[in-house]
């Protein structure tokens, strides 16, 4: 159930847990006057702890393989895919408009 904030005509403020379908009026617990529900921005999302990244729950084997790849790339022992594909090929010739 959502929490709603109320204010009575005298100025007392209080909160109530109510169903969304309940009437938006309540009696002030201090003076008994009819109170009106205040408009509220509500609570924002608060992200705390682990679990918000894809890599947080990876298996140990995945983490070991990923660290091996990172180590191999930084040491230069494994060729990068881009270099392997273009190796042995000459760059494409640029056509000049004057040659036509």
Kindly report, residue by residue over 34-88, the tens digit of the pLDDT.
998 888 766 666 666 666 666 566 678 888 888 888 887 777 655 555 554 555 5
Total tally of structural domains belonging to the chain: 1
Is residue 66 in some structural domain? no
Q: Is residue 81 part of a domain?
A: no
In a domain, 69, yes or no: no
Predicted confidence at residue 92, as pLDDT, reads 61
Assigned domain for 30 exists? yes
Look up the domain containing 15 and give its range. Answer: 3-37
Query: Is the separation of the CB atoms in 73 and 80 below 8 Å?
Result: yes
Element containing residue 37 per DSSP (H, E): strand 34-37
Rounded Cα distance between 13 and 5, Å, is 7
Q: Tell me, what's the pLDDT at 7?
A: 92
51 found inside a domain: no
28 within a domain of the structure (yes/no): yes
């Amino acid at each position: 159930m959502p929490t709603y904030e109320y204010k009575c005509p005298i100025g007392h403020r209080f909160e109530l847990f109510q169903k969304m379908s309940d009437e938006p009026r309540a009696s002030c617990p201090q003076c008994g006057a009819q109170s009106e529900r205040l408009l509220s921005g509500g609570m924002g999302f608060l992200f705390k702890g682990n679990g918000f990244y894809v890599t947080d729950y990876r298996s140990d084997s995945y983490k070991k393989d990923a660290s091996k790849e990172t180590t191999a790339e930084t040491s230069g022992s494994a060729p990068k895919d881009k270099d392997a594909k273009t190796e042995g090929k000459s760059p494409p010739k640029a056509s000049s408009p004057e040659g036509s």
